[in-house]
């Protein structure tokens, strides 16, 4: 049955997605550059009220970055009924495809490929899927930094997070330099011969995403941090669910 009244209720939806950014990502320090990016006006959230094709989504990203060359984070947001557990099934096959986590991840891969193939792409972006229906893969096993990741990515609607590649590359270089400096300091305390060995042996960790995952696991993987994470996301998703059940 079609929902009476105007759908989607954009002001309420926009507010819920803004809450996720501020109350989850920023307040729990899940991303080292999120707050600064938003405060500088370099975070954008183009919203699709109807499911687009991969080409339409990729083109929207390219057009936005052309209009805003300083854009660093773009959250392609897809308003999707039935994506959140506990809501009625989506009324259209297109929305039902977005409501399925595996099909949505396939869509993200297609958008990534189409965007990379566009002529004169204004900037490179790393793209990952966020989805309200994400759950733990195996509840019988202890939570790990990797298995925590999908629990952090439970947005009110399906989202493709697009982070500018040169921004991540810059942060990665800064993290590597800081790690090298700490290592040199530790070796210098042991004596000059150890510092010489350190200079020859330094091999920085290039995986910024793994560093962030470990930090997030330490912060919200258990205890009060995990409780705050679950309570905040549950409240946001409950408000999102209510929009479909009213």
Burial class (CB in 10 A: 0-12, 13-18, 19+), 92: middle
- Within a domain: 27: yes
pTM: 0.82
> Rounded CA gap, 216 and 32, in Å?
10
Encode 113-141: b = buried (16+ Cβ within 10 Å), e = exposed: ebbeeeeeebbebebebbbbbbeeeeeee
DSSP character string of 78-103: E--TT-STTSPPPSSHHHHHHHSHHH
* Cα radius of gyration (the chain): 20
Predicted local distance difference test score (pLDDT) of residue 3: 46
Cβ contact 123:65 at 8 Å: yes
Domain count, the chain: 1
**In-domain check, residue 208:** no
| 235, part of any domain | yes
Let me know if residue 189 belongs to a domain: no
118-128 residue pLDDT tens: 998 889 999 99
Q: 122: which DSSP letter?
A: S
Nearest to 75 by CA among 119, 27, 5, 20: 20
- Residues of the chain with confidence (pLDDT) below 50: 1-3, 187, 194-195, 197-198, 200-206, 208
CA angle 223, 224, 225 (to 5 degrees): 90
Range of the domain at 161: 10-171+217-241
Q: Is residue 200 part of a domain?
A: no
Decide if 188 is inside a domain.
no
Residue 71 in 3-state DSSP?
coil
Closest CA to 31 of 45, 15, 43, 41: 43
- Give residue 35's pLDDT: 92
Query: Which region, left, alpha or beta, applies to residue 25 given φ > 0 means left and ψ of -120 to 50 means alpha?
Result: alpha
Instruction: Look up residue 51 and give its two tokens.
Output: 């499911």
Assess contact for 90 and 244: CB atoms under 8 A. no
Q: Quick one: pLDDT at residue 227?
A: 92
Question: Rounded to whole angstroms, how far apart are CA atoms 183 and 56?
Answer: 47
């Amino acid at each position: 049955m079609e929902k009476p009244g105007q759908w989607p209720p954009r002001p309420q939806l926009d507010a819920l997605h803004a809450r996720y950014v501020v109350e989850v990502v920023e307040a729990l320090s899940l991303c080292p550059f999120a707050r600064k990016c938003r405060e500088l006006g370099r975070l954008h959230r183009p919203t699709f009220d109807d499911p687009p094709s991969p080409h339409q989504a990729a083109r929207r990203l390219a057009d936005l970055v052309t209009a805003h060359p300083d854009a660093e984070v773009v959250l392609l947001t897809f308003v999707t009924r039935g994506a959140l557990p506990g809501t009625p099934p989506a009324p259209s096959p297109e929305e039902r495809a977005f409501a399925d986590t595996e099909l949505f991840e396939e869509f993200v891969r297609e958008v990534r490929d189409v965007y990379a193939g566009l002529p004169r792409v204004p900037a490179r972006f790393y793209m990952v899927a966020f989805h309200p229906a994400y759950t733990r893969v195996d509840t019988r096993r202890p939570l790990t930094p990797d298995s925590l990741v999908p629990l952090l990515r439970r947005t009110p609607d399906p989202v493709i997070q697009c982070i500018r590649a040169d921004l991540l590359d810059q942060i990665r270089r800064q993290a590597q330099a800081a790690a090298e400096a700490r290592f040199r300091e530790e070796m210098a305390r042991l004596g000059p011969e150890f510092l010489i060995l350190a200079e020859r042996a330094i091999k920085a960790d290039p995986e910024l995403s793994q560093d962030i995952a470990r930090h997030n696991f330490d912060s919200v993987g258990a205890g009060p941090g995990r409780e705050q994470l679950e309570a905040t996301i549950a409240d946001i998703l409950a408000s999102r669910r209510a929009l479909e059940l009213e």
